[in-house]
Amino acid sequence: MEMIRMKTPLVEMDGDEMTRILWKMIKEELLLPFIDLRTEYYDLGLENRDRTDDQVTVDAANAALKYGVAVKCATITPNAARMDEYHLKKMYRSPNGTIRAIMDGTVFRRPITVKGIEPNVRTWKKPITIARHAYGDVYKNVEMIIPGPGKAELVFTDEKGRETRQLIHEFQGPGVIQGMHNLDKSITSFAHSCFSYALDAKEDLWFASKDTISKQYDGRFKEIFQTVYKCEYRQKFEDAGISYFYTLIDDAVARIMKSQGGIIWACKNYDGDVMSDMLSSAFGSLAMMTSVLVNPDGKYEYEAAHGTVQRHYYKYLKGEETSTNPVATIFAWTGALRKRGQLDGIKELQDFADRLEKATLSTIESGKMTGDLVRITTLENPEKLNTEDFIKAIRATYESLA
């Protein structure tokens, strides 16, 4: 089989723990035998982020803007325990948060559906896509431990030096405070991305926040979405036979459980993080969801929507066999390769991505799968494979299709 040639590199962002092991296996078994793979490589493993004071993450995000398509492995966002474990110089911010702040845009997450893995929610007949805002909120927050009694204020100083102050709380003892922000420009881009995606997919769009409590912060999101819809998208939605609907986040959760699916659910940054994990788990597995960041200028970053699978990594280090699901990571690569093929006009690269996705799903539908899927499949007599054997089974299926 002739190797598929690439014109422009992908930005490749390596990651941590078990997903870093999967990353290497996928490249060796499923990509390098078929593609003359060109990437600009960045090591976002926690040790290298610490060595570079996290400059490598900034460099990777800027490279994604330069080349237009990136693919990212799952990475660790360190807490206090991770600081001790990895002997870090400081508690670094979420690398995803850093990348999204630089690239801006919207993260679209959609379950990977396959015959034999049925949703836990009986009413769901079609996939539900989460559209997650990719800037600000808790991912760009500022925090402070309050040591004792005192007054905390929110202060804004304009360009002429005039201050506006608002009391946060009068502390009678120790506590904690947090400051968050967002930008009208980013919220507007988020709205445009969601409305455009809904039109392309011909699916209804929901947007949910909590403006009854966060009257100004969440209220600003609601107001901008409504303005953008009225000014630019209402007639287009009516012509397409789809609708836009705003509701409170708690109401959206209740409604989604009774929905048939086939909708796009737009959420603020952290809400989207939580709800996409809930949806992927309810549709089958955290490892069965695609995730792509689309920025306003048409730059793309593909990633797995789950974490680094820490428990399996510790087993792997002990030499124990694991059955870790690599599907979301495979689909991150296929998504990036397909988009690179589309932008560079390489049909062979697009066809490769389509075939590899088909081979992955066909392998599962044949009864060969990882342990997380064996536990929930409706297929009779499934065969549980370890991580490496599952990836090799996908390769065998791919070669039978090619």
Q: Are 259 and 127 in contact (CB under 8 A)?
A: no
Q: Burial of 111 by CB count in 10 Å (0-12 exposed, 13-18 middle, 19+ buried)?
A: buried
Q: Are 43 and 76 in contact (CB under 8 A)?
A: no
Q: Are 206 and 266 in contact (CB under 8 A)?
A: yes
Query: What CATH superfamily is the domain 118-140+181-283?
Result: Isopropylmalate Dehydrogenase (3.40.718.10)
The proportion of the chain whose per-residue pLDDT surpasses 90, expressed as a percent, equals 86
pLDDT band for 1, please (50, 70, 90 cuts).
low
Q: Is 211 helix (H, G, I), strand (E, B) or coil?
A: coil
Distances (CA, A) of 296 to 9, 94, 104, 188: 21, 22, 7, 10
DSSP character for 29?
A: I
pLDDT band for 101, please (50, 70, 90 cuts).
confident
N-term to C-term CA, the chain: 9
| Domain spanning 1-104+298-402: CATH 3.40.718.10 | yes
Q: CB under 8 Å to 176, separation ≥6 — which residues?
A: 143, 144, 145, 146
Q: CB under 8 Å to 125, separation ≥6 — which residues?
A: 260, 261, 262
Would you say the CATH fold of 118-140+181-283 matches that of 1-104+298-402? yes
Is the pLDDT score of 75 beyond 80?
yes
pLDDT band for 208, please (50, 70, 90 cuts).
very high
The proportion of the chain whose per-residue pLDDT surpasses 70, expressed as a percent, equals 100
| Residue the block writes with tokens 């904690």 | 176
pLDDT of residue 149: 98
Give the model confidence (pLDDT) of 17-39 as tens digits.
999 999 999 999 999 999 999 99
pLDDT of residue 359: 98
Region 328-349 average pLDDT: 97
Region 327-348 average pLDDT: 97
User: Which structure tokens are listed for 300?
Assistant: 């793309």
Residues paired with 386 in a beta bridge = none
Region 230-241 average pLDDT: 97
Domain ranges within the chain, ordered by starting residue: 1-104+298-402, 118-140+181-283, 142-179
How far apart, in whole angstroms, are the C-alpha atoms of residue 103 and residue 203?
Answer: 26
How far apart, in whole angstroms, are the C-alpha atoms of residue 262 and residue 310?
Answer: 33
Counting Cα atoms < 13 Å in the Cβ hemisphere of 349 gives 25
pLDDT band for 46, please (50, 70, 90 cuts).
very high
Using the Cα atoms of residue 100, residue 102, residue 136 and residue 18 in order, give the sign of their dihedral: positive
DSSP character for 309?
A: -
Q: Are 126 and 80 in contact (CB under 8 A)?
A: no
131-135, 236-240, 343-347, range with the lowest pLDDT: 131-135
